[in-house]
Each structure stands twice: as structure tokens, then as C-alpha cells.
Amino acid sequence: MSHPKLLEARFDSYKIDKVIGTGTLGTVYEAQQVRLNRKVAVKFIGTAFVSEFPIEEFEEEVFDLAGLYHPNIAMVIDAGSVRGQPYIVTELIEGMTLEEFMESGEPDPVATIGIVSQICEGLAYAHDHGVLHLDLTPNHILLSEIGWVKLVDFRMSRPFTPSESAEGAGILPFLSPEELEYDATVDHRSDVYAVGKILWLLITGEMPPAHREGELSLDSLPEAWAPLIGKAVRRDPEERFESCEAFRAELLEMA
């Protein structure tokens, strides 16, 4: 949900210019950081999440994100709140989402390997620093104008709540089985699963199926890619790649 009153508004040295996206956690705006005269992205966290989780928990997780310095992760610049509405400020990525990139045509295998390799590098770094993404979708992967992949919109430890809006937004196909179970434990292998689904999308040009029960059929995948993707999207996390580094290592062998 957007915040119309914020448009053209100033707060904490930021001037909101326009809405540039919406996600499962809130609305993202392009803004001007007046004090430093630079463009940034400001994400206001949705009221549903604000009411459900203490502000202290939000601040703690933002603090963890702010400690991540990696070329494949959008850098957190600032955070705060306006009238009780928390926000996060990150670098503004000039480019397009992976979803927009796919709309221009299916990438060739070399481009696909390059994109997924960078995704794995960013996630591996985050995991090494104790941060999970848990919301990896084509809209949360940005491709900069100079060729960098940037991961945005980390859901971190926020539990996923199934809804019609989530299904309509194309989120479910990228969620691991354990994320869809309220009492299941999630870890870095949930992100490994999501990367497998992203690779599935890039290779086939079609939205991968949601994982509701049993193992997924790999019949729609090219024979050469089925073993790699199949291992990443196994229902049991113990049967997946043990890390994003391990996934990337086997991916690069496909080059």
C-alpha cells in the first residue's frame, strides 16, 4: 500500500519523489537525500507488519542488514520512522528488475549463469554474516545498468503468511516448502531453494510451479539442467546443496 501524503513530503533530510515499487513488506519510493544531494530508495514498512512485530525487532534486523557490504546486496544507508511508520533507506539502483529483464526475452545460458552466480555470491555473503533473505523473487533481484546483480527486500526472519495477494504477486513459486509450514525451521537452504527456482525461470522462461506436496516434476526442464536445479529444489533441505557456494560451484561447471 502506498502513502500518497508522503509524495513531495520531506522528513529527516529526505524528499520523496515517486513510488518505484511495492513488495511483501511495504512500498518503495525514489527520494532525494537533501543533505548529501543524492538519490536513494526509501522503503516504508507496511502497517500489517508494523502492528505484528515490535519496532525493536525491526531495528535489530535493520542493524544486521546495515552491516552487509557486498557488491551484490543493495547497501543500507539509514533507517528511522515517521509518525510510527518505520522506513529503510538504501542505495538507489539504476536498472531493472529480473522480471523486467525476462520480459525482454529469455537470456542465453552465459547470461543466466552470470546472473545466478552473482545471486549466489550475494546470498553466501549474507549467510556468512547470519542474515537470510527468505523473499527472493524476480522483483527482488535488480540488474544495474553496469551489470551488477543487486539483492533487495530481505524478509529476514519475518514469517510468511499465505494470502491471495501473495499468490497473485508470484511469490509462492519461490518459497520453499518449509517456509509454507508455520512450525518448520528455515535456514540458508531455504534461500538455496529460491535460487533454484530463479534458475528454473531463467532457463525455461516460464514461472516454476509452487511446491505444495511431494517432489516437483522436472519434465519441463532441459535434460542438461534438470540435475542441478532438481537438487536445489528438493523438498527436504537436507537433500539440497549445503550452501549457495556449493550451488554456484556446480553452476559454473555448466559454463
Confirm if 200 and 186 have CB atoms less than 8 A apart.
Answer: no
Furthest CA-CA distance within the chain = 55
Predicted TM-score (pTM) of this structure: 0.89
CATH 3.30.200.20 fits 4-91, yes or no: yes
Domain locations along the chain: 4-91, 95-252
**Amino acid 156: pLDDT:** 61
Q: Which pairs from 129-133 meet CB under 8 Å and 24+ separation?
A: 129/64, 129/67, 129/68, 130/64, 131/64, 131/65, 131/68, 131/156, 132/156, 132/157, 132/186, 132/187, 132/188, 132/190, 132/191, 133/191, 133/194
**Amino acid 21: pLDDT:** 85
Residue of 109, 99, 173 whose CA lies nearest to 139? 99
**Amino acid 48: pLDDT:** 66
CATH 1.10.10.10 fits 95-252, yes or no: no
What is the C-alpha R_g of the chain?
18
Question: Which regions in the chain score pLDDT beneath 50?
Answer: 1-2, 4, 163-169
The β-bridge partners of 42 are 29, 89
